[in-house]
């Protein structure tokens, strides 16, 4: 109970920090402006403009949320140490693991709020095409949020290990490789010798972000699309379980890295 | 039950720095104890190891070897942190928070109820002269105000032991006096305070005992009365009269003109009576006779200048 109170206090403060951060507002403002640009593109499309808006708005909002997750995630703990604000907080009756988990939870709350805002923008854009967020689009938005949370956990973990620039690059690299997990798996099956080991390690060691972006691909032998037959909520539940495991694994590493750290 | 609140035994801290992993011994076997209700001063030049010791005590650093205990439990343990308040050196706080919000955050980490949090936070802000700035963002606080809100956050958990790293930094003389009085009032409430400072008169006014840290080791520790001897180092006699004429008639005395008066200094082994007779015979009017005793500053300068002479010239060891 007491552990939860401390985690909530850290999370609340992290959320408060994010929503008072002018840099975040700048990124979101220009991101939303970019999303609004899909309306212009849809006007240029000769047919199925609603489909164009749906595709571009979903992809744009996902990339914007991923960008914010990386930028905020890699600086999350580094800022506390660099600005020495953690020096006054860590001596309080609080375990270091509670601090790391609290920071992540605050960041997750911020990103959930951001994704809700972006979903609102997607809905507004769809309405310009006399459409709305339907079942498959809602599922796609939830899967996108799960992916964002996994990327955040990776960013937080790397920020415990190295400086923001490098951890940003590494997180972006993991994001790209994670999205290509199926292709890497196929390469592992075809490759031989040491390359097979490398591809296999990448396929099994990195989070499989492909699971969260399945529209236009095959799932269980069937092609799925947000414009037709898409994955159901049972699939979302299994993806959420997988995301949860990835987050727990990443945060466990983050806690281990942070636990014995000297604050010189 | 033991009255020892804080105990360090043979505490060492070694860092590796730079590309080649140069060894830096910040602490080389620090041993001292602080008892309940004491105000304990921790002195040393920059790099002597004061902040390193404090950081180990509050769990920000891990000792390389040795033992640090607070209330009988290892330093850094939650049970120790629950009874501890800490003000870091040149504290930095979340600049987007107001003073009240910062204290609310800290109070929640101590598990205080909402009502208790509000009451204690408001009371501390008032006592430290920040009542009017309670709802101002910390980014607008002056250095002195930040220092005071730092003391307030250290007291939010109503700790039995307070560790303050350079609490007087950034305070003007009035602020320093207020903080000094505040620390004094903590003693009356039975709190134990350990603080480091470079302002030696504050130590003389406040501390029951002091430790002088030198090159990562305790050079001396004890009550002020033991460290600072009561013996007279010299006696200063201020004489009214015409300085040039008097000077000529006071041959053999160490005298010099200062602001229309003459100041005669009698060394500790000299006779004040003889000097006074000579001055009277020369027609000088004695205004003031002041014996100069050893001060903490003398002890500190002696200890720290020895550190400079003793410190290794090379080999990668140094204070931190």
Q: Do B111 and A83 touch (CB under 8 A)?
A: no
Q: Give contacts of B106 with chain A, Cβ < 8 Å.
A: 88-89, 92
Average pLDDT, chain B: 87
What is the pLDDT, as a whole number, of residue B314?
35
What is the pLDDT, as a whole number, of residue A148?
97
Which of A219-223, B143-147, B277-281 has the highest mean predicted lDDT (pLDDT)? B143-147
Of A96-105, B54-63, B82-91, B194-203, the least confident: B194-203
- Tell me, what DSSP letter sits at residue B49? S
- 3-class SS of residue B10: strand
Q: Give contacts of A9 with chain B, Cβ < 8 Å.
A: 105, 108-109
- Beta partners for residue B212, in sequence order: B43, B220
What is the pLDDT, as a whole number, of residue A49?
80
Residue B253 — pLDDT band, cuts 50, 70, 90? confident
pLDDT digits (tens, 9 = 90+) for A109-131: 999 999 999 999 999 988 988 88
Stretch B96-109: mean pLDDT, rounded? 96
What is the pLDDT, as a whole number, of residue B13?
96
Comparing alpha-carbon positions, the chain A residue that sits nearest to B151 is: A88
The answer for residues whose C-beta is within 8 angstroms of residue B124's C-beta and 6 or more apart is B103, B152, B155, B156
Residue (of A5, A249, A208, A10) closest to A109 by Cα position:
A10
Residues 7-26 of B with CB under 8 A from A: 15
Q: Do A92 and B157 touch (CB under 8 A)?
A: yes
pLDDT digits (tens, 9 = 90+) for A164-213: 999 999 999 999 999 999 899 999 889 888 899 999 999 989 999 999 99
Which of A165-179, B172-186, B302-316 has the highest mean predicted lDDT (pLDDT)? A165-179
- Tell me, what DSSP letter sits at residue B168? T
- CA distances to B61, B84, B207, B291 from B150, in Å: 20, 14, 21, 40
Comparing alpha-carbon positions, the chain B residue that sits nearest to A261 is: B61
What is the pLDDT, as a whole number, of residue B41?
94
* Residue A96 contacts residue A255 (beta carbons within 8 Å): yes
pLDDT > 80? residue A263? yes
pLDDT digits (tens, 9 = 90+) for B4-33: 999 999 999 998 888 888 898 999 999 999
What is the pLDDT, as a whole number, of residue B124?
95
Residue (of B27, B50, B95) closest to A83 by Cα position:
B95
pLDDT > 90? residue B169? no
Quote the percentage of chain A above a pLDDT of 90: 63
Q: Do B60 and A91 touch (CB under 8 A)?
A: yes
Which H/E stretch holds residue B303?
helix B296-310
The label of the residue with tokens 């790209």 reads A176
What is the pLDDT, as a whole number, of residue B310?
54
- CA distances to A35, A130, B198 from A55, in Å: 11, 15, 65
b/e A212-228 (16+ beta carbons within 10 angstroms → b) = bbbbeeeeeeeebebee
Residue B218 — pLDDT band, cuts 50, 70, 90? very high
Q: Give contacts of B86 with chain A, Cβ < 8 Å.
A: 88, 91
Sheet holding B232-240, edge to edge: B254-258, B261-267, B232-240, B285-293
What is the pLDDT, as a whole number, of residue B2?
59
| Cα separation, A162 vs A24, whole angstroms | 22
pLDDT > 50? residue B312? no
pLDDT > 90? residue A218? no
A117 touching B (Cβ < 8 Å): no
- 3-class SS of residue B282: coil
Task: Count chain A–chain B contacts defined by CB atoms under 8 A.
Answer: 82
Q: Do B81 and A92 touch (CB under 8 A)?
A: yes
Q: Do A88 and B92 touch (CB under 8 A)?
A: yes
pLDDT > 50? residue B245? yes
Residues 59-98 of A with CB under 8 A from B: 83-85, 87-95
Q: Name the token pair of A243.
A: 């995301």
Q: At what angle do helices A2-19 and A96-127 cross, to 10 degrees?
A: 50
Higher per-residue confidence, B91 vs B59:
B59
Q: Do B62 and A260 touch (CB under 8 A)?
A: yes
Residue B309 — pLDDT band, cuts 50, 70, 90? low
| Cα separation, A155 vs A167, whole angstroms | 7
Which three-class secondary structure string do you get for chain A? Answer: CHHHHHHHHHHHHHHHHHHCCHHHHHHHHHHHHHHHHHHHHHHHCCCCHHHHHHHHHHHHHHHHHHHHHHHHHHHHHHHHHHCCCHHHHCCCCCCHHHHHHHHHHHHHHHHHHHHHHHHHHHHHHHHCCCCCCCHHHHHHHHHHHHHHHHHHHHHHHHHCCCCHHHHHHHHHHHHHHHHCHHHHHHHHHHCCCHHHHHHHHHHHHCCCHHHHCCCCCEECCEECCCCCCCCCHHHHHHHHHHHHHHHHHHHHHHHHHHHCCCCC
What is the pLDDT, as a whole number, of residue A215?
85
Q: Do B153 and A88 touch (CB under 8 A)?
A: yes
Q: Report the residue from A9, A83, A91 with minimal CB separation from B84.
A: A91
CA-angle at B197, arms to B196 and B200, nearest 5°? 125
Can you tell me the ipTM of this complex? 0.87
pLDDT digits (tens, 9 = 90+) for A164-177: 999 999 999 999 99
pLDDT > 70? residue A155? yes
Q: Do B60 and A87 touch (CB under 8 A)?
A: yes
| Cα separation, B166 vs B47, whole angstroms | 13
Measure B81 CA to nearest chain A CA, in Å.
5
Stretch A45-57: mean pLDDT, rounded? 82
Q: Do A92 and B92 touch (CB under 8 A)?
A: no
Comparing alpha-carbon positions, the chain A residue that sits nearest to B320 is: A264
Measure A168 CA to nearest chain B CA, in Å.
23
Quote the percentage of chain B above a pLDDT of 70: 93
């Amino acid at each position: 109970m007491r552990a939860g109170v401390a985690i909530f206090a850290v999370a609340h403060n992290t959320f408060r920090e994010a929503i008072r951060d002018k840099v975040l507002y700048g990124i979101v403002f220009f991101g939303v402006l970019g999303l609004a640009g899909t309306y212009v593109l849809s006007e240029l499309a000769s047919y199925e403009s609603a489909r164009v808006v749906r595709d571009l708005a979903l992809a744009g909002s996902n990339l914007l949320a991923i960008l914010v997750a990386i930028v905020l995630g890699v600086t999350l703990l580094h800022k506390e140490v660099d600005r020495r604000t953690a020096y006054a907080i860590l001596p309080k009756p609080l375990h270091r693991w509670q601090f790391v988990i609290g920071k992540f939870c605050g960041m997750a709350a911020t990103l959930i709020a951001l994704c809700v805002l972006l979903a609102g923008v997607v809905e507004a854009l769809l309405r310009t095409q006399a459409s709305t967020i339907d079942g498959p689009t809602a599922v796609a938005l939830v899967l996108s949020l799960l992916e964002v949370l996994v990327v955040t956990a990776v960013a937080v973990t790397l920020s415990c290990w190295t400086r923001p620039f490098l951890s940003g690059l590494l997180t972006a690299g993991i994001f790209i490789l994670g999205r290509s997990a199926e292709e890497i798996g196929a390469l592992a099956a075809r490759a031989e010798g040491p390359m097979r080991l490398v591809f296999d390690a990448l396929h099994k060691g990195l989070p499989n972000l492909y699971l969260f972006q399945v529209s236009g691909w095959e799932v269980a032998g069937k092609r799925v699309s947000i414009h037709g037959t898409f994955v159901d909520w049972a699939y979302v539940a299994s993806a959420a379980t997988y995301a949860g495991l990835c987050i727990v694994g990443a945060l466990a590493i983050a806690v281990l890295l942070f636990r014995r750290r000297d604050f010189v | 039950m033991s009255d020892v609140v804080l105990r360090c035994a043979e505490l060492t801290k070694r860092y590796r720095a730079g590309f080649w992993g140069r060894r830096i011994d910040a602490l080389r076997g620090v041993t001292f104890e602080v008892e309940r209700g004491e105000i304990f001063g921790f002195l040393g030049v920059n790099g002597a190891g004061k902040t390193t010791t404090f950081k180990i005590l509050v769990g920000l650093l891990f000792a390389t070897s040795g033992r640090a205990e607070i209330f009988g439990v290892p330093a850094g343990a939650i049970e120790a942190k629950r009874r501890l308040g800490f003000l870091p050196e040149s504290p930095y706080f979340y600049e987007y928070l107001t003073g009240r919000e910062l204290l609310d955050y800290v109070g929640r980490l101590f598990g205080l109820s909402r009502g208790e949090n509000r009451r204690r936070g408001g009371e501390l802000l008032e006592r430290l002269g920040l009542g009017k700035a309670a709802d101002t963002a910390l980014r607008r606080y002056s250095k002195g105000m930040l220092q005071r809100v730092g003391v307030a956050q250290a007291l939010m958990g109503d700790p039995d032991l307070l560790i303050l790293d350079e609490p007087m930094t950034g305070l003007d003389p009035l602020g320093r006096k207020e903080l000094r009085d505040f620390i004094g009032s903590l003693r009356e409430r039975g709190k134990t305070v350990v603080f480091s400072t470079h302002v030696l008169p504050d130590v003389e006014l406040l501390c029951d005992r002091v430790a002088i840290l030198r090159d990562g080791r305790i050079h001396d520790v004890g009550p002020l009365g033991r460290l600072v001897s009561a013996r007279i180092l010299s006696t200063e006699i201020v004489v009214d009269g015409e300085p040039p004429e008097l000077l000529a008639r006071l041959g053999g005395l160490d005298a010099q003109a200062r602001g229309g008066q003459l100041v005669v200094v009698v060394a500790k082994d000299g006779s004040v009576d003889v000097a006074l007779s000579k001055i009277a015979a020369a027609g000088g009017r004695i205004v003031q006779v002041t014996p100069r005793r050893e001060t903490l500053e003398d002890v500190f300068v002696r200890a720290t200048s020895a550190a400079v002479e003793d410190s290794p010239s090379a080999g990668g060891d140094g204070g931190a």
